[in-house]
């Protein structure tokens, strides 16, 4: 399918060998053209349609999904300051995406009984880094 020897792919996947820039670009072009990554993600989503908890705990899915989203966001040339997870379940995906984008991450506080002191600590932390973070 990719016309690359299995042994070479095995070396790349297991970090035993590193492809040249030319070979790496060729692999990326073939993956994109054949939509292998998108199809793989779709298959995983379909097979877990009744239990999305499996998706948010699947490290391979999360990393691959984050790479696809990162690629799409980079093409839009957006200035992204931080990634915000709207739920506890989304923290793993948001964390992986924030790492790929090189941004900060903001996630929901799990404790509903937040004291003012905790919020102040978070506010001072964000102020010291010269970033505006709204705590909801």
26: left (phi over 0), alpha (psi -120 to 50) or beta: alpha
Task: Report the alpha-carbon distance of residue 57 to residue 63 in Å, rounded.
Answer: 11
Domain ranges of the chain: 57-128
Residues 12-48: tens digit of each pLDDT = 888 899 989 998 888 888 888 998 889 999 999 999 8
- Among the listed residues 56, 54, 9, 60, the one whose alpha carbon sits nearest the alpha carbon of residue 31: 9
Structure tokens at 108: 């929901």
Per-residue tens of pLDDT for the chain, all 136 residues: 778 888 988 998 888 999 899 988 888 888 889 988 899 999 999 998 888 888 888 888 999 899 899 888 888 988 888 888 877 788 888 889 999 999 988 876 665 555 555 544 444 444 444 444 444 4
Task: Report the alpha-carbon distance of residue 97 to residue 63 in Å, rounded.
Answer: 8
Angle between helices 21-33 and 36-47 (to 10 degrees): 50
The residue with tokens 């739920």 is 87
- Among the listed residues 51, 27, 48, the one whose alpha carbon sits nearest the alpha carbon of residue 37: 27
DSSP state at residue 133: -
Residues whose CB falls within 8 Å of the CB of residue 127, separated by 6 or more in sequence, listed in order: none
Which DSSP helix (H) or strand (E) runs through 33? helix 21-33
- Among the listed residues 80, 123, 72, the one whose alpha carbon sits nearest the alpha carbon of residue 98: 80
- What does pTM read for this prediction? 0.65
DSSP state at residue 113: S
């Amino acid at each position: 399918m990719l016309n690359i020897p299995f042994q070479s792919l095995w070396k790349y996947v297991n970090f035993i060998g590193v492809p040249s820039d030319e070979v790496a670009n060729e692999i990326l072009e073939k993956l994109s053209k054949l939509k292998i990554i998108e199809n793989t993600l779709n298959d995983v989503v379909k097979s877990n349609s009744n239990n999305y908890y499996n998706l948010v705990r699947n490290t391979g899915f999360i990393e691959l999904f984050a790479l696809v989203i990162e690629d799409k966001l980079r093409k839009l040339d957006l200035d992204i300051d931080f990634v915000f997870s709207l739920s506890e379940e989304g923290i793993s995906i948001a964390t992986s995406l924030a790492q790929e984008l090189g941004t900060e991450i903001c996630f929901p506080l799990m404790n509903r009984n937040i004291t003012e002191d905790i919020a102040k600590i978070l506010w001072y932390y964000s102020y010291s880094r010269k970033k505006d973070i709204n705590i909801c």
